[in-house]
Amino acid sequence: MLLGSQLRRLRETRGITREAAGYSIRASESKISRMELGRVSFKTRDVEDLLTLYGITDEQERASLLSLAKEANVAGWWHSYSDVLPSWFPTYVGLEGAASQIRVYEVQFVHGLLQTEEYARAVVRRGMKGAGEADVERRVALRLERQKHLVAENAPEFHIVLDEAALRRPYGDRDVMRGQLQHLIEMSERPNVRLQVMPFGFGGHSGESGAFTILSFPESDLSDVVYLEQLTSALYLDKHEDVTQYEAALKELQQDSPGPDESRDLLRGLLQLI
Instruction: Give phi and psi for 234, each to the nearest 5.
Output: -145, 155
Residues 228-257 pLDDT 10s: 999 889 999 888 999 999 999 999 999 999
Q: Are residues 149 and 108 part of one domain? A: yes
The listed range with the strongest mean pLDDT (88-97, 125-134, 157-166, 211-220) is 157-166
Question: What SS3 class is residue 263?
Answer: helix
DSSP annotation of 202 reads G
Separation of alpha carbons 213 and 114, rounded Å:
14
Q: Are residues 147 and 14 part of one domain? A: no
Q: Are residues 96 and 156 part of one domain? A: yes
Q: What is the pLDDT of residue 249?
A: 96
Do 155 and 149 meet the contact criterion of CB atoms below 8 Å apart?
Answer: yes
Q: What is the pLDDT of residue 239?
A: 86
Q: Are residues 91 and 224 part of one domain? A: yes
pLDDT above 80 (res 5): yes
CATH number at residue 114: 3.30.870
Q: Are residues 170 and 66 part of one domain? A: no
Separation of alpha carbons 186 and 199, rounded Å:
20
Q: Are residues 158 and 47 part of one domain? A: no
Long-range contacts of 245-252, Cβ-Cβ distance < 8 Å, separation of 24 or more: 246/212, 246/214, 247/103, 247/214, 248/206, 249/105, 249/206, 249/207, 249/209, 249/212, 250/103, 250/105, 250/159, 250/161, 250/206, 250/212, 250/214, 252/205, 252/206
Q: Are residues 218 and 159 part of one domain? A: yes
Separation of alpha carbons 147 and 186, rounded Å:
14
Q: Are residues 97 and 210 part of one domain? A: yes
Instruction: Give phi and psi for 233, each to the nearest 5.
Output: -170, -175
Range of the structural domain that residue 3 is part of: 1-75
Q: Are residues 192 and 168 part of one domain? A: yes
Separation of alpha carbons 227 and 237, rounded Å:
7
Q: What is the pLDDT of residue 71?
A: 80
CATH number at residue 57: 1.10.260.40
